[in-house]
Amino acid sequence: MGWSDISDAITKTAPLVGTLLGGPALGVNVTSRSKDKQVSAGQQPTPGLMAALAKRLAR
């Protein structure tokens, strides 16, 4: 396996890596916008995973 093979492998997997990294970021953006909409409508947003974890650790 030479440098050419390694370069080809990296080039072929680049779109996959971009999709994997972009997917979670998009999810965070959508979640953030949903919470912003709830707050602007006067509703209290539901606590997320981190809030539930913090509540359990605070006990």
pLDDT value at residue 12: 82
Cα dihedral 46→48→49→53 (10° resolution): -70
pLDDT value at residue 49: 80
Six token digits for residue 27: 């999810």
pLDDT value at residue 56: 84
For 48-58, what is each residue's pLDDT tens digit?
788 888 888 88
- Mean pLDDT rounded to a whole number for the chain: 75
pLDDT value at residue 16: 74
Six token digits for residue 42: 């006067």
Residue pair 38/45 in contact by the 8 Å Cβ criterion? yes
